[in-house]
Amino acid sequence: MTYIRKPEWLRAKTPLTKEYGNVSKLMREMKLCTVCEEARCPNRSECWAERTASFLILGDTCTRSCKFCNVKKGTPSAGVDDLEPENLAQSVLQMGLKHVVITSVTRDDLKDGGAGQFVKSIEAIRKKSPETTIEVLTPDFMNQAGALEAVIKATPDVFNHNMETVPRLYKVVRSMGNYDYSLNVLKEVKAMSPSIFTKSGIMVGLGETEEEILQVMDDLRDVNVDFITIGQYLQPTVKHHPVSDYITPEKFEEYKKIAYDKGFLMVSSSPLTRSSHHAGEDFKRLVEKRENV
């Protein structure tokens, strides 16, 4: 496929501020990973400058090999770090976070898929920083019995599980995932706890059609997902799936209007939208919208 030059609207600024350096230093001191770094998020400079971060638990090595993701892949060299939840909670406290996002690599090597570490992390944050609202962005836990239930019982404020792309492209870019199962994860969350906000995200520019994008929106609304994020796929390296096209800001605005018309409470749709970008602000707006419904 022919290389497509990145348009100007995708050139994120990189503010090298004191706050940016302080967050980076804290992550190193606490031996924590952030998805901001591991996935080469284009918004990491902005978020870190504002002293916010999305924490990546369960190490930095994913057991799956999705063709769109830059997180290291392979067999994890270590088990579960028992100190990680406490270090995470301490970092949240030191940063003064009002809203925190916890995500992870996929750990199919663990019996519970890593669900227990999510639970411990939520509990540690609740104990040390009870005013902080918590959003989790989880893998599918390989359908391990009781894993999803355990995370929901820990009562995160937002449960996010990304669909990532349209069904037709799963075999191409997410071969170890399953569209129907991912959709069912979100369905089960609402069934178990209707009060928890559910959230999911997709990337565009992987080779999907507009009709397929709209079908994903319908599928998500059918399982009562509250919040959808739509962002431009950016190819991390030449080894990853190529970008098929760059979607214009105007088209993203069109998708936003369509999504709201379909009934989503919150929609974030722009070239640089990512799952956890402005997550705290969006959570406040979600609460306000639910109260006004």
The CA–CA distances, whole Å, from 281 to 239, 243, 286 equal 35, 30, 9
Task: Tell me how far apart the alpha carbons of residues 69 and 74 are, in angstroms, rounded to a whole number.
Answer: 13
CB 283 within 8 A of CB 277: no
What pLDDT band is residue 58 in, cutting at 50, 70 and 90?
very high
> Mean of the pLDDT values across residues 58-65?
90
> Mean of the pLDDT values across residues 110-123?
96
Give me the residue spans of the domains in the chain: 10-292
Angle, vertex CA 160, rays to CA 17 and CA 221, nearest 5: 125
User: What residues does 34 pair with on adjacent strands?
Assistant: 55
CB 158 within 8 A of CB 135: yes
Handedness of CA 168, 174, 177, 183 (dihedral sign): negative
CB 34 within 8 A of CB 27: yes
pLDDT tens, 32-50? 665 555 555 555 556 655 5
Share the mean pLDDT of the chain. Answer: 87
pLDDT tens, 199-224? 999 999 999 999 999 999 999 999 99
Q: Which secondary structure element, helix H or strand E, spans residue 93, and what is its range?
A: helix 84-95
Q: Please state the pTM of the whole predicted model.
A: 0.89
Range scoring the smallest mean pLDDT among 34-48, 79-93, 113-127, 225-239: 34-48
Alpha helices in 131-248 (DSSP H): 147-153, 170-173, 179-192, 210-222
Q: Which secondary structure element, helix H or strand E, spans residue 115, and what is its range?
A: helix 115-128
pLDDT at 4 over 60: yes
Q: Which pair of tokens denotes residue 234? A: 């950016």
- Find the length of the chain: 293
Q: Which secondary structure element, helix H or strand E, spans residue 106, and what is its range?
A: none
What pLDDT band is residue 137 in, cutting at 50, 70 and 90?
very high
Q: What CATH code would you report for 10-292?
A: 3.20.20.70
Q: HEC profile for 24-66? A: HHHHHHCCCEEHHHHCCCCCHHHHHHCCCCEEEECCCEECCCC
